[in-house]
Amino acid sequence: MTETTRAARTASLSRATSESSITLALDLDGSGHSSVDSSVPFFDHLLTALSKHSLIDLEVAATGDTHIDVHHTVEDIGITFGTALKQALGDKAGISRYGDALVPLDEALVQAVVDVSGRPYLVHSGEPEGFEYHLIGGHFTGSMVRHVFEAITFHAGITVHVRVLGGRDPHHIAEAEFKAFARALRQAVAPDPRVSGIPSTKGAL
């Protein structure tokens, strides 16, 4: 399958509940361009980094009951991103399937491994004690990092391992997690010219 004949790997979705309203579009074969307004400033920062380092073009516009908590809006964006990712991947023919990245951010160091497996599974470890309670930027609770990865993996149908190997500053740790995931995802979804059909002995992912 050549670059000129490959179908567009894009998705555009809307999701509305009593807690949030989201529109999201992505292009797996983009250049890392993003336009993100999640209504949660630090999450905007993380999603922008995800787009930049995965080379996935990403547009997000969301509103929600952030006056109560950012939880609902952030989770619903993760759900929508995962669903869009699954849709854009299509039958997954010709992709690399696996990706692995080790990313530093000053004192923080994170490894992420992705398998576009068709099986949703998350292994997430190594965040320092108390990280989940820290308010990053005064509004984004550290526990939401894992929660976003849970939402993405479940709805995209992928396997993700994220290991925090070191870190002190919660901002750096969260950002390194998203950058490592982005770099691993970039490898995993990339077309591989040597792969013919579905990259599995089962014939399906």
Successive 10-residue mean pLDDT values, the chain, 205 residues: 65 95 98 97 98 98 93 97 98 96 98 97 98 92 97 98 98 98 98 91 85
Residue 89: the pLDDT is 97
Distance CA(141)–CA(101), nearest Å, equals: 25
Q: Which residues contact 164 (CB under 8 A, 6 or more apart)?
A: 108, 109, 110, 125, 126, 127, 128, 173, 176, 177
Q: Which CATH number fits domain 10-189: 1.25.40.10, 3.30.230.40, 3.40.50.300, 3.40.50.720?
A: 3.30.230.40
Contact 185, 194 (CB under 8 A): no
Residue 159: the pLDDT is 98
Residue 46: the pLDDT is 98
Q: Which residues contact 18 (CB under 8 A, 6 or more apart)?
A: none
Strands (DSSP E) contained in the chain are: 10-16, 20-27, 34-37, 57-64, 98-105, 108-115, 121-125, 135-136, 140-141, 159-166
Residue 201: the pLDDT is 86
Question: Where along the chain do its domains lie?
Answer: 10-189
